[in-house]
Structure 1
């Protein structure tokens, strides 16, 4: 049984409070509220506000903007896991006549379908959804300014299509499906399409004066799956824990790993910023740390949820102002503060319950050409293959049940590892996507492609 870590240390809590205090002051936010999740549970909550004696708590709702897209993506992946659709299916298969052509569901999830960033007509985030009653009104006459699959181009209308896809296949509204399949199972009682008191009001702060005015509150209609939701730091802390660990009532941990795996072609400016996109989740590298999650921005509100998966630390930040995207930096800073001040305590090492005799036979050093490589059998039932030292190609492999293994990441993702045996049953070499790994460098007794020089290893002379 794992002993839970203690609450955050006083010095860590003060550093977190200092970071959000600076953010609220410098960002001139009427209010800012934040939470930190570690080991799957909320361990810290903080708030700063311009109203004396009225700091918001973890139950006050804020609009979360495009974090809504991650919720919508969860619904789509549920349909995929049930076999109701394939991610490579064209959207037209389920929503004929939309003008989306042969764009695939996966391309919509990853923003690689080439669709426009926004809807035609007036700014959809500040006008009623009744102005765009049909998908044709969301997409317009020329919905795709870019070729499909060639680049990452963030598209809000793309997620309106995904919401319509959910409605078509479930036979119910996106809102009802979301509540039934995600919100209720995860206990997200304070998350929904419309605000329920207590809820923060959205404000625009003047860029050159310390004054502000309220932002309009609109129902986005067809665009709701792209940015409609309201939530709290309490609910989003639970959602962050789910995005790491999964919940078999909603989505498996394996599918969530797929969602946070980069899939989108990255442009030079995004590459410089360390940004890319998975299936409904943003992926970024900051301070040597891999972070996944999503940011959100609609008039009057800013939101960010980011997870340091390796550190098992997540942060949620919500603010009620229209002032840019500073909350994303705050969220990633909160993750960094906790991860650096209180590094994750690893789980105790435990041996395998039952060893795979075929895997054990292959454990140890191998050589790809002259490069020393190690195959290890790990306690999670996988095998890993990678260089003995330094950088290079490495991956974990899952067993297929027939004496072969399939790569899970990196260069070897999806590639099959198998042992090639001699007539007497002994292992000649490992084959990995045509690469040959032998027990000795260019083993003269193994079937090395191109053969081995009959004179063997020798000096110069």
Structure 2
């Protein structure tokens, strides 16, 4: 998505689908005993459904009502870090010490912080940072404690809130401005997220704790998190988070490219033992049944939040947001995934009509068809976007899509060959000899004579059983 893009009008959901979404949302609010709950579904760049439920008669939160979004803030912080990387101000492999010296955790890398593999503690030293003023932790030493590393860096996934405080401090050091100011200038304003802010702005929901054994409420404090802001400070609305979901799906050249947001959504660390997913770069990866989802959950005292988008090719452009104003109760990640599933299952995307390519390079067309790795048959075909698809013809195996990267080269976009280079190799006569993919030689015939097959080919050639 670029700055001058404008989505076409979205197709309206069917009445039965809208009722199913409302029923699922109402059931979550009722069974989860949330004072209010608001949800939205996004398809093809636009909100196609919005629903809310509340215990207050005559009042219903809408897409403009702010809720605190907790750790969804981490994805916003990760966007700022990736901007620094894309501008060449840092490398994800850089140790933190190179840019932010003196933290006591300088050996960990930027990538490890983004993917929660730095080995840092999950929380700050006591008291509980989410329910106390940020002023009681005035320095990074107060956030990290005397021994910040619980595990060797890079060896396991261990979710860390202080890790994103370090990333917030890194952003401030390299930008020379407060985290919230940088976020507003570089992300919120370009994306039009006018109702996303570090402090609540009316209209906004109040946070509540619901007694576990009685239907009574206790107001929760809305603390300013201070240095922990980059881990969970933000307030937002379903309308703004819907726009942010579109950005995470498509990118926006004013903020991050489509390629970089795809990189954020790729697995960078396995999930913890009780997760059904993993973690990218500031992005949670969740599996709901057979459906792969990306986004983030969030919670702070008085609030629950979730933003998820579908990674399925036939569900491209489908996302959902759920916000609630209670400390616990509704299973917001399950609800968000269910809202996506309701739309995907009830109204599957109608495929675009097949159309032939407007033109095809004869030399590229000549490369299509059968190729052999040893005796295993692979196939290469042109894709509508100008790239190629390459993979085995029998079974699943090592299949990938590739984009053009100069004459006779393609870079893998997914699967086993993600990031690998597919090259067309030519002989002295200029004719195509073979394909090279990560040192694997693919020839037009099995073990084709004259091709540089590692180990050589028996000079007597193919034969029957003696």
Q: TM-score range by the shorter chain?
A: over 0.9
| Aligned match of 2:400 | 395
Displacement of 1:34 after TM fit? 0.1
Q: 1:12 to 1:136 in 2, by over 3 A?
A: same
Q: Which runs of 5+ in 1 are unaligned?
A: none
Name the count of aligned residue pairs. 458
Q: 2:369 aligns with which of 364, 370, 395?
A: 364
| Aligned match of 2:441 | 436
| Aligned match of 2:292 | 290
Displacement of 1:411 after TM fit? 1.9
- Asked if residue 157 in structure 1 is aligned to residue 162 in structure 2, the reply is yes
| Aligned match of 1:226 | 231
- Asked if residue 88 in structure 1 is aligned to residue 93 in structure 2, the reply is yes
Q: 1:148 & 1:350 partners in 2: Cα distance?
A: 50
Q: Does structure 1 retain, via aligned residues, the 8 Å contact 2:293–2:309?
A: yes
Displacement of 1:453 after TM fit? 3.5
Q: Which runs of 5+ in 2 are unaligned?
A: 1-5
Displacement of 1:336 after TM fit? 0.6
Displacement of 1:357 after TM fit? 4.5
Displacement of 1:325 after TM fit? 6.5
| Aligned match of 2:413 | 408
Displacement of 1:358 after TM fit? 4.2
Q: Does structure 1 retain, via aligned residues, the 8 Å contact 2:265–2:280?
A: yes
Matches within 5 A, 1:54-203: 54-203=59-208
Q: 2:97 & 2:123 partners in 1: Cα distance?
A: 20
| Aligned match of 1:373 | 378
| TM-superposition CA deviations, 1:104-134 (whole Å, max 9, x none) | 1111111111111000120000000000011
Q: Does structure 1 retain, via aligned residues, the 8 Å contact 2:224–2:233?
A: yes
Q: 2:7 & 2:214 partners in 1: Cα distance?
A: 53
- Asked if residue 242 in structure 1 is aligned to residue 244 in structure 2, the reply is no
Displacement of 1:350 after TM fit? 4.4
| Aligned match of 1:385 | 390
Q: 1:4 to 1:460 in 2, by over 3 A?
A: farther
Q: 1:447 & 1:253 partners in 2: Cα distance?
A: 38
Q: 1:78 & 1:356 partners in 2: Cα distance?
A: 36
Q: 1:417 to 1:60 in 2, by over 3 A?
A: same
Q: 1:325 to 1:452 in 2, by over 3 A?
A: farther
Displacement of 1:389 after TM fit? 3.6
Q: 1:19 & 1:150 partners in 2: Cα distance?
A: 40
Q: Does structure 2 retain, via aligned residues, the 8 Å contact 1:150–1:265?
A: no
Determine helix, strand or coil for the equivalent of 2:366: helix
Q: 2:428 & 2:292 partners in 1: Cα distance?
A: 46
Q: 1:93 to 1:353 in 2, by over 3 A?
A: farther
TM-score under structure 1 normalisation?
Answer: 0.95
Q: 2:62 & 2:258 partners in 1: Cα distance?
A: 30
| TM-superposition CA deviations, 1:397-433 (whole Å, max 9, x none) | 2222132222222221222211222322222221111
Displacement of 1:322 after TM fit? 1.1
Displacement of 1:51 after TM fit? 1.0
Q: 1:460 & 1:177 partners in 2: Cα distance?
A: 72
